[in-house]
């Protein structure tokens, strides 16, 4: 089982044309500051480690970080990560653009023993498992399959103000990715959808072998 970091996972998404946040991994405080200046303030800062799945719960995500707080944020995130998981491999701190508010969606992949790869779509965010409002289709999906998925979740009315076309196109790109890559499981959570377009804000890909 090989688990990709958020940043590596998003590089994979970008390869399939899925919009992702502008971001880079900072190895040091100085690095973080110069990256943040390039990206533009405020930024989001998160730990970059394949071993920490629930970054938020570990205190390893800080949002709306301003210029004067970059140094301290870097230290806090690394310290919290070490406290949470002393043996975790740490690549550095991911510095990322802040994405405007929108609807939080989850799109995922699961490899099933009978049907092969399946794509999941539903309401995302930190409460994804509590909301439990998701639906599946087997790869490869048709455009009609993807449209139906957006129409059949219980919370479909929440999507009313979103760019449903961009959501549908993302579902299809994920289907294409599932067909081509040896993915075991994938979460894009959240994919933020607004009036115009979508952007993958967090992602986690797990490969077989």
Partner 1 sequence: MLSNVLEPDSIAVIGASSNREKWGYRILDNIISGGYLREVYPVNPNEDEVLGMRCYPSVLDLPHRVDLGIIAVPAGSVPTVLEECGRIGVRGVVIVSAGFSEVGNSELENRVRDIARDYKMRMIGPNTFGFINTHLHLNASIIPQMPEKGGISFVTQSGTFGLALVDWAASQQMGLHLVVGVGNKADVDDSDILAYLSADRHTKTIMMYIEGIERGRRFIDVASRIRKPVLALKAGRSRAGSKAALSHTGSLAGTDRIYDGAFKQAGVIRAGTLEELFDSALALALSISPPAGSGIGIISNGGGASILAADLCEDLGLHLPDLSDDTVRMLKDVLPVIATPANPLDTAGDGSYEMFKDVTEIILSDRSINALLVIYVHAEMVDPCLPAEAVIDARRGCDKPVITSWIGGKSIGAAVKRLEENRIPNYPLPERAVVALNNLVRYKRILQKR
145 sits near partner 1 (criterion: CB under 8 A) = yes
Query: In the complex with partner 1, which residue's Cβ is closer, 130 or 160?
Result: 130
- CA 111 to CA 141: how far, in whole Å? 14
Q: Nearest approach, Cβ of 170 to partner 1 (angstroms)?
A: 14
- CA 126 to CA 82: how far, in whole Å? 22
If residue 62 lies in a helix (H) or strand (E), which one and from where to where? strand 61-65
Q: Nearest approach, Cβ of 198 to partner 1 (angstroms)?
A: 17
Q: In angstroms, what CA-CA distances link 165 with 139, 159, 187, 196?
A: 19, 11, 20, 9
Site residues for partner 1, 188-207, by CB under 8 A, read 189, 204, 206
135 sits near partner 1 (criterion: CB under 8 A) = yes
Tokens of 53: 């799945």
Tokens of 69: 């707080």
Nearest Cα neighbor of 59 from 42, 83, 91, 34 is 83
Tokens of 62: 């800080």
Q: Helix crossing, 164-180 with 143-152: angle to 10°?
A: 120
Quote the Cα angle for 191-192-198, to 5°. 90
3 sits near partner 1 (criterion: CB under 8 A) = yes
8 sits near partner 1 (criterion: CB under 8 A) = no
Q: Binder to partner 1 among 47, 186, 191, 193 (CB under 8 A)?
A: 186
**Segment interacting with partner 1, rule: CB under 8 A, options 12-20, 89-97, 121-129, 191-199:** 121-129
- CA 166 to CA 159: how far, in whole Å? 12
Q: Nearest approach, Cβ of 165 to partner 1 (angstroms)?
A: 19
11 sits near partner 1 (criterion: CB under 8 A) = no
Window 43-72: contact mask with partner 1 (x via CB under 8 A):
----------x-------------------
Q: Binder to partner 1 among 38, 71, 132, 151 (CB under 8 A)?
A: 132
Which spans of this chain sit near partner 1 (rule: CB under 8 A)? 1, 3, 53, 106, 108-110, 112, 114-116, 118, 120, 122, 128-129, 132, 134-138, 141, 144-145, 148, 184-187, 189, 204, 206
């Amino acid at each position: 089982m090989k688990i990709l970091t958020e940043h590596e996972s998003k590089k994979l998404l970008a390869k399939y044309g899925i919009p992702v946040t502008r971001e880079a991994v900072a190895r040091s405080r100085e690095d973080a500051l110069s990256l943040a200046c390039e990206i533009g303030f405020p930024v989001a800062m998160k730990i970059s480690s394949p071993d920490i799945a629930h970054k938020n719960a570990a205190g390893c995500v800080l949002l709306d970080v301003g210029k004067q707080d970059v140094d301290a944020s870097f230290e806090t995130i690394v310290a919290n990560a070490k406290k949470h998981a002393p043996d975790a491999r740490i690549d550095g701190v991911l510095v990322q653009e802040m994405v405007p508010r929108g609807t939080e969606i989850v799109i995922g992949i699961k490899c099933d023993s009978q049907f092969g790869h399946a794509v999941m779509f539903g309401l995302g965010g930190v409460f994804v498992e509590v909301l439990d409002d998701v639906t599946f289709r087997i790869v490869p999906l048709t455009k009609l399959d993807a449209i139906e998925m957006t129409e059949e979740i219980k919370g479909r009315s929440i999507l009313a103000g979103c760019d449903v076309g961009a959501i549908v196109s993302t579902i299809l790109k994920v289907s294409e990715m599932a067909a081509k890559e040896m993915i075991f499981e994938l979460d894009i959570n959240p994919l933020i959808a607004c009036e115009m377009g979508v952007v993958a804000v967090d992602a986690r890909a797990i490969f077989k072998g």
